[in-house]
Amino acid sequence: MSLIVDKVSYKYSTGTAYEVTALDEVSLEIKDGEFIGIIGHTGSGKSTLVQHLNGILKATSGTVYYNGQDIYDKDYDLKDLRTRVGMVFQYPEHQLFETTVFEDVEFGPKNQGLDEKEVAERAYDALQRVGFPEEYYDQSPFDLSGGQKRRAAIAGVLAMKPSVLILDEPTAGLDPKGRNEILDMIRSMHEKSHITIILVSHSMEDVANYVDRIIVMNDAKVFLDGTPKEVFAHSKDLEAIGLAVPEVTYLMLELKEMGWDVDTTVTTVEEARKEILRAYEVKKSASK
Amino acid sequence: MFREITIGQYYPADSLLHRLDPRVKLFFTLFYMIGIFVADNIFAFSLLTVGLFSAVKLSKVPFGYMVKGLQAIILLLIIAGAFNMFLTPGQTLATVGPLTITDVGLKNAGLMTARMIYLIIGTSLMTLTTTPNRLTDGLETSLGPLQKLNVPVHEIALMMSIALRFIPILVEETDKIMKAQMARGADFETKGLVRKAKAMVPLLVPLFVSAFRRASDLAMAMEARCYHGGEGRTKMKPLHYSKEDRVAYLLILLFFAGVVVLRILF
Ligand SMILES: Nc1ncnc2c1ncn2[C@@H]1O[C@H](COP(=O)(O)OP(=O)(O)OP(=O)(O)O)[C@@H](O)[C@H]1O
Ligand SMILES: [Mg+2]
């Protein structure tokens, strides 16, 4: 049970003056239950890559396998794939269209052909999960704040109960509080229902704190792929392609330079605190 | 899927046609259009063809890219052609079931199809080689005299340039929204008129909302930068004729005269 991307290349506007190679022979394997962060700077091909995972874009060459089946096979049911691999696009609030939030969230499950009761249950459940305030269920989605719209839109995808959930920059344009709430919600979803989560972001900080595996995209290719620790060990390479490692990693590197014997692979503030305290104790007892 | 639309779009290249003053190209388009309707025989059309193809060649825009714009009107062409062919009275050439093809009908159908195709290619040639900004500048200056008759020339030109600028934006937006709804299981390929129309709702509502949002954002941004209409407004790059432009004017006039002469002769 996995998603395999096999040497996928994708070109936009082929045959015109505007041709761009957005993906260049990308190969990946995404296993069930993984929590993956895809990072890379603007235009590196992140959105293009994830849009291949549910068959919205068709690779110029190469192919994608879901659970061992080639999704480009003639008789492959792409509609079914899209309900299994849910995708929350960048700025998903732009896709809202119904007269009420609740009906909008029902759109996905309705398309799955479920009966009315089940559809309503799914919508209710999804809105609960994203922490959408109940008093706004019957509001027009156009009268909501940016963060609320975002939640409603994410609920619209969750309501289809996908087993892989892709979120393309779910926190773009939100304030720090809204950002943390959304990310925490995604993490708790991963912990509770063990679905595979692919989080696209260009903030290292976000990704480092939440995911188990990071895929760094640069210039249409996979640049690095590994656990946060492994990836952040390449801080120089990351800087060379215009990405920053988390602030704490910088701090640890600087401490190391000053002669502290600290582990520079820590990626979160909590780990850094422990590590610095440990190093401090060591230093204190050594100087005694 | 919607990105195929090329009508009204600019194609960046470095060619003589791209360099020409937009007023010259407007002038060409006008006379070329008149020429298309003046021409009514094979000789005049041959001259138009030569003129059009040399212009296309000079523009360095790939021919395939140019005819893409034609795809949108193929159905229209077929229908209009068929009506002309079967419904014009005249000498009967052949009968297909209840329909008869007449000599006049055949000629009309051919002429009309050729005119439409030439019209599309000729006019897209202008937009393909001229940035919307220059196009509007050209239009505004060419129509300048109408200002005296209280025609809001500047506003018309501005509206046109905004409309042109918004085509690719809306196309991109359509593409994005379609993808997003497809990810939620929407099916835009359903059969049947009613179901098809229904399937469009999830696409059209967000599209309109976003078009209005963009329009109001744009108005706000213009206001914030003290836009106040055309009065007293100067240009960063005022239009100047060069030698090439004068030669082009001369060629266009000669070309047009040629078409008129051929029509009168044959
Ligand atoms: N619809 C499109 N048409 C043409 N080119 C496109 C299109 N979408 C993306 N591109 C190009 O493909 C490349 C990769 O774009 P993509 O959207 O995948 O980047 P991204 O990593 O998601 O960037 P961002 O962080 O800004 O979202 C870019 O060079 C971009 O200009
Ligand atoms: Mg993106």
Say yes or no: A278 contacts chain B, CB-CB below 8 A. Answer: no
The alpha-carbon gap from A147 to the nearest alpha carbon of chain B, in Å, equals 17
Chain B positions with Cβ closer than 8 Å to A: 3, 11-13, 62, 64-65, 173, 176-177, 179-187, 201-202, 205-206, 209-210
The Cα–Cα gap between A55 and A34 comes to 20
Element (H, E) at A198: strand A196-201
pLDDT tens, per residue, chain B with 266 residues? 445 556 667 888 889 889 999 999 999 999 999 988 888 888 888 888 898 889 888 888 888 777 776 777 788 888 888 888 887 777 777 777 777 888 888 888 888 888 888 888 888 888 889 988 888 889 888 888 888 888 888 888 888 888 888 888 888 899 899 999 999 988 887 777 888 888 889 999 999 999 999 999 999 999 999 888 777 788 888 888 999 999 999 999 998 899 889 888 87
Query: Are residues A81 and A120 located together in one domain of the fold?
Result: yes
- The answer to whether the beta carbons of residues A232 and A266 sit under 8 Å apart is no
Phi first, then psi: what are they for B241, rounded to 5°?
-75, 145
Query: Are residues A193 and A284 located together in one domain of the fold?
Result: no
Q: DSSP 3-state assignment of A49?
A: helix
**ipTM of predicted complex:** 0.83
Query: Are residues A187 and A49 located together in one domain of the fold?
Result: yes
Q: What angle, 0 to 180 degrees and rounded to 10, lies between the N-to-C axes of helices A146-158 and A176-193? A: 20
Classify A173 in phi/psi space as left (phi over 0), alpha (psi -120 to 50) or beta: left
B180–A94 C-beta distance less than 8 A? yes
Query: Are residues A257 and A150 located together in one domain of the fold?
Result: no
B183–A87 C-beta distance less than 8 A? yes
- The answer to whether the beta carbons of residues B23 and B157 sit under 8 Å apart is no
Query: Are residues A63 and A178 located together in one domain of the fold?
Result: yes
Structural domain spans, chain B:
2-165+238-265
Looking at the partner chain, which of B173, B185, B205 has a beta carbon nearest the beta carbon of A111? B185
Q: Tell me which amino acid residue A102 is.
A: F
Query: Are residues A38 and A18 located together in one domain of the fold?
Result: yes
The Cα–Cα gap between B46 and B262 comes to 10
The Cα–Cα gap between A104 and A138 comes to 10
Query: Are residues A210 and A263 located together in one domain of the fold?
Result: no
Query: Are residues A199 and A284 located together in one domain of the fold?
Result: no
The total number of structural domains in chain A stands at 2
- Give how far Cα B121 sits from Cα of A55, A248, B8, B29, B126, Å: 35, 60, 11, 10, 9
Q: Which residues of B touch A83 (CB under 8 A)?
A: 185
Closest residue by Cα to atom 24, ligand 1, is A42
pTM: 0.79
What CATH number did the domain enclosing A222 receive?
Answer: 3.40.50.300
- Give how far Cα A265 sits from Cα of A30, A258, B236, B241, Å: 24, 16, 54, 65
Expressed as residue numbers, the domain containing A287 is 246-288
Closest residue by Cα to atom 7, ligand 1, is A12
The Cα–Cα gap between B6 and B21 comes to 22
Phi first, then psi: what are they for A6, rounded to 5°?
-115, 105
A82–B187 C-beta distance less than 8 A? no
The binding-site residues of ligand 1, defined as CB within 6 angstroms of any ligand atom, are: A 12-13, 20, 22, 40, 42-48, 90, 202
Query: Are residues A36 and A146 located together in one domain of the fold?
Result: yes
Query: Are residues A239 and A250 located together in one domain of the fold?
Result: no
Provide the residues around ligand 2 (an ion) whose CB is within 5 A: A 47
Query: Are residues A33 and A115 located together in one domain of the fold?
Result: yes
